[in-house]
Structure formats: C-alpha cells, structure tokens
Structure 1
Amino acid sequence: MNYTPDAIRHVKFSTARLPLATPISDAKVFTGRQKPMTEVAFLFAEITTEQGHEGLGFSYSKRGGGPAQFAHVKEIGETIIGEDPNDIAKLYTKLLWAGASVGRSGVATQALAAIDNALYDLKSKRAGLPLAKFLGAHRDSVRTYNTSGGFLNASIEEVKDRATQSIEEGIGGIKIKVGLPDSKEDLRRVAAVREHIGPDVPLMVDANQQWDRATALRMGRRLEEFDLVWIEEPLDAYDAEGHAQLAAALDTPIATGEMLASVAEHERLIEARACDIIQPDAPRVGGITQFMRLATLADQAGLDLAPHFAMEIHLHLAATYPREPWVEHFDWLDPLFNERLETQGGRMLLPNRPGLGFSLSDQARAWTTETVEFGKA
C-alpha cells in the first residue's frame, strides 16, 4: 500500500493548572530558596490532520513558567498548519527557528516539547502501535520507584507508611528527599526508612541541589552504609565538575540531569563523566526528538537512565533504552487523564494502547485556563 500524504489541519493549545492535594516541600523550601509547591502548570497540544488522525502531547512547569510556555506557542504554533505530521524532525527545526530569538533551551524548547510529543503520539497511533513499540522497545516493563511519598514536608512516619503502600502497589523502589539544614536529621530519616523497608528494597535519596561540594562529599560518605541505588542532585545542576569529582570519589552512584533544558547541557555532563545515572526530562529538553538524541549519547557513554517525572511519556522512552532503566512513579497527573499505568512486581507495565495511550479527562478540561487554536477545526 502506497503512502498517502497527510497535512496538519488543526492544532489546539491549552494551559491548565493542576492543584496538589498537599503542598509539598523539598530541600529548596527548607533552605529558603522556594516556597512550597501547590500546583503544576501544563501545556497541552492537540493536533488533527486532514485524514482525521489525532495526537496529544504535553509539557509542564512546576512553579513559574507555565504562562510563558503558552505565550510562546501562541506566537509560533501556526507554523505547523499544512505540514506533513510525519516529518517530525523537520517540524521541530522549523518551530525552533520560528522562535530562535529566545534560544534553544528553557521555555522556548519546553513549549515545543508539547508539539513534538503530540506528533509522536499521532504517528504511533497511525501505525497502531504503543509509542515504545513504534520506536523499538527493549522490554515490555520498566523498573519503577516512588518519589511522591518521600518529600520533606511529611513526617518520617508518613514517609514510612507511604513506602509500605507503594511496595504493596507493586512499585519497586523508594526515593526520599534530603538536603535539610540539619544533616543529622537527613541521616536519621534515611536510616529510619532503610530499617523500615529492609535491606533488599531499592532506596534512593535526592538532595535537590542543596549541598556545596564539601558537604556533598561528607554526606556521600556517610550515606554509603545505606546501600543506596543513587544520590540525586547533590550539587547545583550545572556543576558538572563537582558532580564528576563526587562520582569518582564515592561508591554510591551519582544521578543528575533533570533540571537541564537542552541536549547541549546534558552533553557537558556526559563529557565530564559527571554522573553514573542520567536523568533527562523529555518535556524539559524539547520533547521526544531531543530525548532520543540524548539517549543515544548516554548509551554510548555507558550511563544508566532514570528519566525525571512525566511517567506517561518516560515509560515509553525508557522501554527503548538498551540498558535496564528506572522510571519515576508520580500519581500527581492521574486526574488529567482517563487512563492509568499499571505497576506489578516492582515494575511499570507498558500499556498496549496506541501512541502514548492517554486522553484528556473532563477534569483536565475543567482546570483549563486559556486556549488558542489554529487551522480548521
């Protein structure tokens, strides 16, 4: 059967604010750098073609940045009308140049990510395949760990209870936040969780960039006894040299990368050997097109992979990585979608639905604050 050319007929962008049931705090709050997080802003892209194919993609911003992403797509979104939706790399470049004055990272590419992700959703739906199968999967499930129960605003008893619940729900690992001004309290919390879950359950900690180099090295050595899977973001996200020194000095693997907003910024991490586990975020680096570029570089460097947040996208991408990865489990986004991901035996299962496998819920529509449309509805 010959290929029949298609064209993008209509695109709708919307921004919505998802309220969190409980304001959450990591070390950035306890060190006075930020206020507790109460909501997450989302940018959705819904694309329809002349042949009736549809794609849904999203990007997001925690705290500030959501309105800026929406403003950017309002300016450049019309660029893709009339284009063949299958030419994803070409469209990414076209959109990038349409907004070139504001650069190739940060808000500019995070806004493009919603479009890029929607195009991949559309293309894999057209093929009748889950996105991971469309790209080429290495596995049908991925190791998963829970973060949402380990924030610093929760008492240690609450953290332990949530860890038990996560394990019972089929989630394999537990990550808790550290980086408090009182490092002794950090160690007490880690020790309590390790004792609670036992020696065989994978345990990770995340300092959210709050330590200086000396503190990170000292804490890293103290944390060795807990047999951690990794120490995450012990230093400023852009301190590649400092992370490299820690990675060389400690037995516990170093993980970082979630805050970086381009492939180029991750390349510096890779070249500096600044981590053992790289943690890119597809919506932050510009979408699936850029994530796949980055994954190739990470694999060539022998790094393990643990994408940040957005499990609805990252499950598919992690399933395509040659090395056994981890995916972060957050249930925060559940109200936005009609479908759910399944966990079993410590792993997250790849859905058999075509594309990303998600559709927007009525609640997501109700939380929408602004929309803009281009083309013929």
Structure 2
Amino acid sequence: MRITAMETFLLQSPLERPFGWSQGWTDHRATGLLKITTDAGLVGWGEGISGPAAAILRDYFAPHLLGQDPMQRNALWHRMYHTLYNANLAGGFGGSALSAVDIALWDIAGQALGRPIYELLGGQVRDRVAVYATGLYYTEGEFPHRLLEEARGYVAAGFRGMKTKVGGLSLAEDVRRVAAIREAIGPDVHLMVDANQAYNPATAIRIGQMLAPYDILWFEEPVAAQDVDGYLQVKAAVPMAIAGGEGLRTRFDFRDFLARRALDIAQPDVINVGGITELRNVALMANAFGVQVNAHVWGSPVMIAATLHVMATVPPCPTARQPLPYQQEPVMEFDRTPSIIRETVCREPIQQQDGFVPVPDGPGLGIQVDEEAVRRLCVAHQRIP
C-alpha cells in the first residue's frame, strides 16, 4: 500500500453570536482537515492543516510521503520531524502539519487492520472518557442572564465540570462572573477558569487568590505559554491546580514543564503536539512525573475521535483501587460553543451522556467523515500532487 495523494480543506462556518476570550474576538469557527488517499482505496483523515501548515505539507512533507507505505507511521513521523528540525520549524504551524499527517496515518493503519486506533496503541484502559463542558465565553450582553442560563444548561445536560474564561475584563469584573457561575451551578460541579495567557505572574497570582473562595479546580494558562518560571511562580502562590500546554509542540516542548513540575495538569492538543504519536508520548511522560493529562480539544470530530483513542489508553494518575474523574482519571475538554463544523462533518456527531463520551470502536478513528459537508464548508482547497 502506498500514499498516492493528499488534500487539504480549510473549513469555516459563521457564528450567529460572536464570542471572545482574553486574546481576541471571533465571528466564525474554522479548522483545517487533511485527507490522505492510498492506492489500496483506503482514506485517512487528519486535522490541523490550515494556512502555513498547508504550505509545509506541500513543500517539506510531500516528497517524504508520496509513494511511501502509510503503515510505517513511526518512520514517517521522524522523517517529517527531521525536515523541520534544523530550521527550527517543528513549533507553530510545522507542529500542526506534522499532527495532521500523523492522525491520518493512524486512521489508515486502523482501517487496514480492521481495528480501532486504541487497539493499535495497546488496548483501552477505559471504554468511555469523562468530559467537561467548555463554553461560557464573553458575548455582548451575556452577563448575568445568558451566561448563567448557559451554565445551568451544562449541569442539566449531565456535565460534572465546566470551564469559563478570565482575562478579558478587569480582575473585579471577571471575579464577579466566576462568583455568579459558582452560585448558579452549586458546590458539587467542578468549575475551572482559563486565562489564555492573559496575565503576568504577579497579576495571575492576584486573581488566583481572589478566585480561591469559589473552589476553582484549575487555573489554565495563567501566563505566557513558554514561561516555565512564570508557571512555577504562580503555582507556588495560589491554592488551585495550574494547567497548561495546549499550544506546546512535541515532547521536547513539554520536557521542562514536566521535569520542573511547572504544571499540575498537562493539556496537550492532538492537532498541535504532533498527532496521536506524540500525544501518547507526552501523556506517558506526564504520567511518569505524576502530572495529570486532561487533553485540550477544540475542533472537528476528527480531533475529538483521535483524542478519545489516546485517552482510552492513558493509565490513571496515580493508580488507585477506584480511580475517579478529576482526581486520578483523565478528563477531556468537550467544546460546547456553537459550531456547524463540529456538528456536520461527521455523519454521526460525537455526543456526551452524563459527562462521558464513548470511545469509537470502529476501524481507525471509528468515525465517518461526510466529505460532502467538508466540501460545502471549504473555503480553500489544495491537492498534492
């Protein structure tokens, strides 16, 4: 079996109501999908291939992929990484391109063998993964009524945890929002906050201490993504767990964060970190250091399914007689903000029930991508060769 062609699709869908976070505001959702075709008729799908990442696929990776056996994904991963290494391109869009190809190759391998990806990774530890609701962004006129209605809706849907944004308003205003959400959802639902790198360490410490009365489970990306010492400074001064890592690429970016205990919770993202191969590597590294892995997820069912397969194989941290989500068991982000992409590019959208999502058990990713929907939402397309 040989790789014969690759296609990239940049997808966009409008938002009825724009929303914001600490670093920006958007009126649409977007992602990039990759389709790899083989001479055996098998097709694999990956995600993360948009903008400059598509150019990296064409200019750097295509010569090393076309005509090659897709089953040799380990050798192909390292060959692609090597093409980026000397020019220091493995971060940013280079890591995204690498991730997309890797996911698609695992999808093909699973289909070729008639097995789900989690079996190729050694078998599942769990057949469903606990998820928390991500939403509660900033929107115009949302506070308090619409914001609190959204939060109560997540509780009614069975979620045992949810995450909101901080860093886009003054400290006092953000604390007011968090306090109102806590009152609305009660004391028994986990509540997390995400600053998206909004603060310097001193300010992050200040708001972390202000939020302490509201029983915040974790404080996500309090400072700049690469600032290991900043993370350590905040971690030493606030009572909640510190989380981060969604934008880090490969195990090498995670090395110092794990070795220096700068994170309580690592959040690798399968379409950033280097695909299924490297998400698995980072998860096991983190487990060895006693760091919980709660994967970051923000995109289409392709990345959701890829993440579920890896999270199905990650052991509890630490082992326990009865490991529980949010304590020893991993929990996974489950985006609830509006997204036509997320709801339509898979023939059967991935759903949660009572705060858990079942792991797909079909061959490869175990999902059926609706290529008609992909092409309908596509705003830029590239085929190689």
> How does the TM-score come out when normalised to structure 2?
0.87
Q: Residue by residue, what CA displacement relative to the aligned partner does 1:249-272 show, whole Å, maximum 9, x if unpaired?
A: 333111111122332221121122
- CA distance 1:41–1:78, change in 2 (3 Å): farther
CA contact under 8 A between 2:134 and 2:334: conserved in structure 1? yes
Which residue of structure 2 lines up, in the alignment, with residue 90 of structure 1? 75
Which residue of structure 2 lines up, in the alignment, with residue 69 of structure 1? 53
- CA distance 1:79–1:356, change in 2 (3 Å): same
- Alpha-carbon distance in 1 for matches of 2:155, 2:118: 25
**Is residue 2:5 matched to residue 1:7?**
no
**Is residue 2:367 matched to residue 1:358?**
yes
- Alpha-carbon distance in 2 for matches of 1:209, 1:315: 26
| Range with bigger deviation, 48-57 or 274-283 | 48-57
CA contact under 8 A between 2:18 and 2:139: conserved in structure 1? no
- Alpha-carbon distance in 1 for matches of 2:257, 2:144: 33
Which residue of structure 2 lines up, in the alignment, with residue 228 of structure 1? 216
- Alpha-carbon distance in 2 for matches of 1:348, 1:245: 35
| Range with bigger deviation, 275-284 or 66-75 | 66-75
Which residue of structure 2 lines up, in the alignment, with residue 138 of structure 1? 125
- Alpha-carbon distance in 2 for matches of 1:257, 1:270: 10
> What amino acid is aligned across from residue 336 of structure 1 in structure 2?
V
- CA distance 1:242–1:99, change in 2 (3 Å): closer
- CA distance 1:156–1:240, change in 2 (3 Å): farther
Which residue of structure 2 lines up, in the alignment, with residue 79 of structure 1? 64
Which residue of structure 2 lines up, in the alignment, with residue 147 of structure 1? 134
Which residue of structure 1 lines up, in the alignment, with residue 181 of structure 2? 193
Say which SS state the counterpart of residue 217 (structure 2) adopts.
Answer: coil
- Alpha-carbon distance in 2 for matches of 1:325, 1:353: 22
CA contact under 8 A between 2:116 and 2:360: conserved in structure 1? yes
| Range with bigger deviation, 286-295 or 355-364 | 355-364
Say which SS state the counterpart of residue 297 (structure 2) adopts.
Answer: coil
> What amino acid is aligned across from residue 340 of structure 1 in structure 2?
P
- CA distance 1:358–1:21, change in 2 (3 Å): farther
> What amino acid is aligned across from residue 33 of structure 2 in structure 1?
F
**Is residue 2:28 matched to residue 1:39?**
yes
Which residue of structure 2 lines up, in the alignment, with residue 63 of structure 1? none
Q: How does 1:227-246 map to 2 (within 5 A)?
A: 227-246=215-234
Q: How does 1:1-377 map to 2 (within 5 A)?
A: 6-29=1-24, 36-59=25-48, 66-75=50-59, 76-100=61-85, 101=87, 103-135=89-121, 136-151=123-138, 153=140, 154-310=142-298, 311-323=304-316, 324-331=329-336, 332=339, 333-361=342-370, 362-374=372-384
- Alpha-carbon distance in 1 for matches of 2:9, 2:63: 14
CA contact under 8 A between 1:266 and 1:294: conserved in structure 2? yes
CA contact under 8 A between 1:43 and 1:69: conserved in structure 2? no
Q: Residue by residue, what CA displacement relative to the aligned partner does 1:25-46 show, whole Å, maximum 9, x if unpaired?
A: 01223xxxxxx12334433222
| Range with bigger deviation, 96-105 or 276-285 | 96-105
CA contact under 8 A between 2:131 and 2:355: conserved in structure 1? yes
Q: Residue by residue, what CA displacement relative to the aligned partner does 1:301-334 show, whole Å, maximum 9, x if unpaired?
A: 1011111124332222222211211111114322
CA contact under 8 A between 1:24 and 1:38: conserved in structure 2? yes
Aligned-pair CA distance for 1:102: 5.4
Which residue of structure 2 lines up, in the alignment, with residue 33 of structure 1? none
Aligned-pair CA distance for 1:9: 2.8
**Uncovered stretches (5+) of structure 2, i.e. residues with no partner:** 299-303, 317-328
Identical positions, percent:
32
Aligned-pair CA distance for 1:241: 1.0
Q: Residue by residue, what CA displacement relative to the aligned partner does 1:332-361 show, whole Å, maximum 9, x if unpaired?
A: 322332221121122122123322233333
- Alpha-carbon distance in 2 for matches of 1:273, 1:367: 42
- Alpha-carbon distance in 2 for matches of 1:169, 1:370: 36
> How does the TM-score come out when normalised to structure 1?
0.89
Say which SS state the counterpart of residue 149 (structure 2) adopts.
Answer: helix
